[in-house]
Amino acid sequence: MANKSILKTKKEDYNIVIAGTGGQGVITLLQVLAEAALIEGKDIKTSELHGLSQRGGSVEVHVRFGERIYSPLVMRGKADLVIGLETQEVLRALDYAGPQTVFLVNKYFVPIPLEKKMTEGEIVDNLKKISGKAELIPASDICQESLGTSVVAGIYLICLAANKDFIPLKPESIKDAIKKVIPQKYLELNLKTFELAKQK
Protein backbone atom coordinates (compact mmCIF):
# COMPACT_ATOMS: atom_id res chain seq x y z
CA MET A 1 0.00 0.00 0.00
CA ALA A 2 1.36 3.34 -1.03
CA ASN A 3 1.40 6.79 0.33
CA LYS A 4 -0.97 6.92 3.29
CA SER A 5 -0.46 10.64 3.67
CA ILE A 6 -2.56 11.24 0.60
CA LEU A 7 -5.52 9.53 2.16
CA LYS A 8 -7.68 12.17 3.71
CA THR A 9 -9.67 11.69 6.87
CA LYS A 10 -13.05 10.19 6.10
CA LYS A 11 -14.98 13.24 7.26
CA GLU A 12 -13.75 15.45 4.46
CA ASP A 13 -15.26 15.69 1.02
CA TYR A 14 -13.46 13.75 -1.65
CA ASN A 15 -13.52 15.15 -5.17
CA ILE A 16 -12.84 13.19 -8.33
CA VAL A 17 -12.84 14.46 -11.91
CA ILE A 18 -12.57 11.95 -14.75
CA ALA A 19 -11.72 13.28 -18.21
CA GLY A 20 -11.77 11.31 -21.41
CA THR A 21 -13.29 11.16 -24.85
CA GLY A 22 -16.83 10.10 -25.72
CA GLY A 23 -17.32 6.35 -25.72
CA GLN A 24 -14.61 5.57 -23.14
CA GLY A 25 -17.20 4.69 -20.53
CA VAL A 26 -16.78 7.60 -18.11
CA ILE A 27 -20.39 7.34 -16.95
CA THR A 28 -19.88 3.70 -15.96
CA LEU A 29 -16.89 4.75 -13.86
CA LEU A 30 -19.01 7.44 -12.25
CA GLN A 31 -21.65 4.85 -11.37
CA VAL A 32 -19.13 2.41 -9.91
CA LEU A 33 -17.53 5.09 -7.74
CA ALA A 34 -20.90 6.44 -6.59
CA GLU A 35 -22.21 2.97 -5.68
CA ALA A 36 -18.98 2.15 -3.86
CA ALA A 37 -19.34 5.34 -1.82
CA LEU A 38 -22.98 4.44 -1.08
CA ILE A 39 -21.85 1.01 0.19
CA GLU A 40 -19.63 2.86 2.65
CA GLY A 41 -22.56 5.01 3.77
CA LYS A 42 -21.35 8.27 2.32
CA ASP A 43 -23.31 11.15 0.86
CA ILE A 44 -22.72 11.52 -2.86
CA LYS A 45 -23.27 13.92 -5.71
CA THR A 46 -22.20 13.42 -9.30
CA SER A 47 -22.51 15.30 -12.55
CA GLU A 48 -22.40 14.10 -16.13
CA LEU A 49 -23.40 15.28 -19.58
CA HIS A 50 -25.37 13.42 -22.24
CA GLY A 51 -26.27 14.09 -25.86
CA LEU A 52 -24.04 15.36 -28.60
CA SER A 53 -21.16 15.78 -26.16
CA GLN A 54 -20.78 12.00 -26.27
CA ARG A 55 -19.89 11.76 -29.94
CA GLY A 56 -16.16 11.36 -29.56
CA GLY A 57 -15.76 14.84 -28.14
CA SER A 58 -14.22 15.61 -24.77
CA VAL A 59 -16.16 14.34 -21.77
CA GLU A 60 -15.74 15.07 -18.11
CA VAL A 61 -17.62 13.72 -15.11
CA HIS A 62 -17.50 14.72 -11.48
CA VAL A 63 -17.89 12.43 -8.47
CA ARG A 64 -17.98 13.85 -4.95
CA PHE A 65 -18.52 11.98 -1.71
CA GLY A 66 -18.21 12.62 1.99
CA GLU A 67 -20.35 13.19 5.03
CA ARG A 68 -22.57 15.86 3.44
CA ILE A 69 -22.17 16.88 -0.17
CA TYR A 70 -23.95 19.82 -1.78
CA SER A 71 -22.57 20.78 -5.20
CA PRO A 72 -22.60 18.18 -7.99
CA LEU A 73 -19.62 19.97 -9.54
CA VAL A 74 -16.12 19.96 -8.11
CA MET A 75 -15.03 23.48 -7.26
CA ARG A 76 -12.10 24.92 -9.16
CA GLY A 77 -8.82 23.86 -7.54
CA LYS A 78 -10.45 21.30 -5.25
CA ALA A 79 -10.00 17.97 -7.03
CA ASP A 80 -8.30 15.29 -4.93
CA LEU A 81 -7.99 12.93 -7.85
CA VAL A 82 -8.00 13.60 -11.58
CA ILE A 83 -8.15 10.58 -13.85
CA GLY A 84 -7.31 11.05 -17.51
CA LEU A 85 -8.60 8.16 -19.61
CA GLU A 86 -6.82 9.76 -22.54
CA THR A 87 -3.42 11.39 -22.14
CA GLN A 88 -4.27 14.82 -23.57
CA GLU A 89 -7.75 15.09 -22.07
CA VAL A 90 -6.35 15.26 -18.55
CA LEU A 91 -5.19 18.79 -19.38
CA ARG A 92 -8.78 19.96 -19.70
CA ALA A 93 -9.38 19.12 -16.06
CA LEU A 94 -6.50 21.26 -14.80
CA ASP A 95 -8.88 23.98 -13.61
CA TYR A 96 -9.98 21.54 -10.91
CA ALA A 97 -6.46 20.68 -9.82
CA GLY A 98 -4.30 22.04 -7.03
CA PRO A 99 -1.26 21.07 -4.97
CA GLN A 100 -3.29 18.26 -3.35
CA THR A 101 -4.30 16.62 -6.62
CA VAL A 102 -3.20 13.12 -7.60
CA PHE A 103 -3.17 12.60 -11.37
CA LEU A 104 -3.62 9.15 -12.84
CA VAL A 105 -3.17 9.31 -16.58
CA ASN A 106 -3.81 6.52 -19.02
CA LYS A 107 -1.06 6.23 -21.60
CA TYR A 108 -3.45 6.27 -24.50
CA PHE A 109 -3.66 8.81 -27.30
CA VAL A 110 -6.68 9.64 -29.43
CA PRO A 111 -5.20 12.07 -31.94
CA ILE A 112 -6.92 15.40 -32.39
CA PRO A 113 -7.24 15.88 -36.16
CA LEU A 114 -5.07 18.59 -37.69
CA GLU A 115 -3.29 19.26 -34.40
CA LYS A 116 0.28 18.55 -33.39
CA LYS A 117 0.51 15.67 -30.96
CA MET A 118 1.84 16.63 -27.54
CA THR A 119 4.26 14.19 -26.02
CA GLU A 120 3.25 12.34 -22.90
CA GLY A 121 6.52 13.49 -21.34
CA GLU A 122 5.55 17.14 -21.78
CA ILE A 123 2.13 16.47 -20.32
CA VAL A 124 3.31 14.55 -17.26
CA ASP A 125 6.08 17.08 -16.57
CA ASN A 126 3.47 19.81 -16.45
CA LEU A 127 1.22 17.81 -14.17
CA LYS A 128 4.13 17.17 -11.82
CA LYS A 129 4.71 20.91 -11.56
CA ILE A 130 1.22 21.25 -10.14
CA SER A 131 1.31 18.61 -7.43
CA GLY A 132 4.25 16.27 -7.89
CA LYS A 133 1.81 13.40 -7.79
CA ALA A 134 1.29 12.43 -11.40
CA GLU A 135 1.52 8.90 -12.74
CA LEU A 136 1.37 7.84 -16.34
CA ILE A 137 -0.03 4.32 -16.44
CA PRO A 138 -0.29 2.23 -19.59
CA ALA A 139 -3.72 0.97 -18.51
CA SER A 140 -5.03 0.40 -22.02
CA ASP A 141 -1.93 -1.63 -22.96
CA ILE A 142 -1.97 -3.62 -19.71
CA CYS A 143 -5.64 -4.52 -20.18
CA GLN A 144 -5.16 -5.33 -23.86
CA GLU A 145 -2.23 -7.58 -23.04
CA SER A 146 -3.71 -9.39 -20.05
CA LEU A 147 -7.40 -9.39 -20.88
CA GLY A 148 -7.47 -9.03 -24.64
CA THR A 149 -9.34 -5.72 -24.58
CA SER A 150 -8.59 -2.16 -23.57
CA VAL A 151 -12.24 -1.30 -22.98
CA VAL A 152 -11.79 -1.85 -19.24
CA ALA A 153 -8.86 0.59 -18.92
CA GLY A 154 -11.00 2.99 -16.90
CA ILE A 155 -12.12 0.29 -14.48
CA TYR A 156 -8.48 -0.73 -14.16
CA LEU A 157 -7.50 2.82 -13.25
CA ILE A 158 -10.15 3.29 -10.56
CA CYS A 159 -9.35 -0.13 -9.06
CA LEU A 160 -5.68 0.79 -9.07
CA ALA A 161 -6.48 4.14 -7.45
CA ALA A 162 -8.40 2.38 -4.67
CA ASN A 163 -5.57 -0.12 -4.15
CA LYS A 164 -3.02 2.66 -3.93
CA ASP A 165 -5.20 4.52 -1.43
CA PHE A 166 -5.68 7.41 -3.83
CA ILE A 167 -9.43 7.00 -3.32
CA PRO A 168 -10.61 6.72 0.29
CA LEU A 169 -12.85 3.75 -0.51
CA LYS A 170 -12.10 0.12 0.22
CA PRO A 171 -11.16 -1.90 -2.87
CA GLU A 172 -13.81 -4.42 -1.79
CA SER A 173 -16.45 -1.68 -2.01
CA ILE A 174 -15.35 -0.96 -5.57
CA LYS A 175 -15.59 -4.68 -6.31
CA ASP A 176 -19.12 -4.85 -4.89
CA ALA A 177 -20.08 -1.74 -6.84
CA ILE A 178 -18.78 -3.34 -10.04
CA LYS A 179 -21.03 -6.32 -9.35
CA LYS A 180 -23.97 -3.98 -8.96
CA VAL A 181 -23.35 -1.68 -11.92
CA ILE A 182 -21.79 -3.82 -14.68
CA PRO A 183 -24.21 -5.91 -16.75
CA GLN A 184 -23.90 -9.69 -16.27
CA LYS A 185 -22.47 -10.10 -19.78
CA TYR A 186 -19.35 -8.06 -18.95
CA LEU A 187 -19.08 -8.77 -15.24
CA GLU A 188 -16.43 -11.48 -15.44
CA LEU A 189 -14.18 -9.27 -17.56
CA ASN A 190 -14.54 -6.41 -15.09
CA LEU A 191 -13.86 -8.61 -12.07
CA LYS A 192 -10.73 -9.91 -13.80
CA THR A 193 -9.74 -6.28 -14.29
CA PHE A 194 -10.21 -5.70 -10.58
CA GLU A 195 -7.87 -8.62 -9.80
CA LEU A 196 -5.36 -7.41 -12.38
CA ALA A 197 -5.21 -3.99 -10.75
CA LYS A 198 -4.58 -5.67 -7.39
CA GLN A 199 -1.36 -7.26 -8.62
CA LYS A 200 0.22 -3.93 -9.48
Partner 1 sequence: MDELLVNDPGKKVILMGNDAIVRGALESGVQFVATYPGTPASEIGNDFYRISKEANVIFEFSTNEKVAMEVAAGSSFSGLKTLVAMKNFGLNVASDPLLPFIYTGSKGPTVIFIADDPSCHSSAQSEENTRAFSYLGHIPTLEPADAKECKEFTKIAFDLSEKFQIPVMVRTTTRVAHQKMPMVLGEYKKNSSLARGEFVKDANRFVTLPPRVLGMKTELIEKIKKMQLAFEKSNLNFIDRGSSKATEKRGIIASGVAYLYVKEALKELGLDLPILKVGTFYPLPEKKIQSFIKGLKNILVAEELEPYLEKEVARLAKDANCKLEIHGKDLLPEVGELRPEYVTLALAKFLGKKYVLPRIKTKLAVPKRFPQLCPGCPYWLVFGGVKKATEGKNVIYGGDIGCYMLAGMPPHFLQDYLSCMGSSIGIGHGIKRATGQKLVSFIGDGTFFHAGIPALINTVYNQSNPLIIILENEITAMTGHQPHPGALGAKVEIKIEDVVTACGVKNLKIIDPVQQQEFIAAIDEFLEKPEVSVIIARHPCKFVKKV
Q: Where are the beta strands (DSSP E) in the chain?
A: 14-21, 43-47, 58-66, 81-84, 102-106, 134-137
Binding mask 11-30 for partner 1 (x = CB under 8 A): ----------xx-------x
Taking the complex as a whole, the smallest distance from the CB of residue 14 to partner 1 amounts, in Å, to 14
Taking the complex as a whole, the smallest distance from the CB of residue 190 to partner 1 amounts, in Å, to 18
The distance from CA 21 to its chain's CA centroid, rounded to whole angstroms, is: 13
Helix intervals (H) in the chain: 26-39, 120-131, 139-147, 153-163, 171-181, 184-199
Q: Quick one: which of 2, 3, 75, 200 contacts partner 1 (CB under 8 A)?
A: 75
Q: Residue 145: how many CA atoms within 13 Å on its side-chain side?
A: 6
Pairing of strands 81-84, 58-66: unpaired
Residue 89 makes contact with partner 1 by CB under 8 A: yes
Binding mask 118-157 for partner 1 (x = CB under 8 A): x---xx--x--xx---------------------------
> Are the C-beta atoms of residues 57 and 26 closer than 8 Å to each other?
no
Q: If binding means CB under 8 A, how many residues of this protein chain bind partner 1?
A: 52
The site for partner 1 (CB under 8 A) is made up of 21-22, 30-31, 34-35, 38, 43-58, 69-78, 88-89, 91-92, 94-95, 97-98, 110, 112-115, 118, 122-123, 126, 129-130
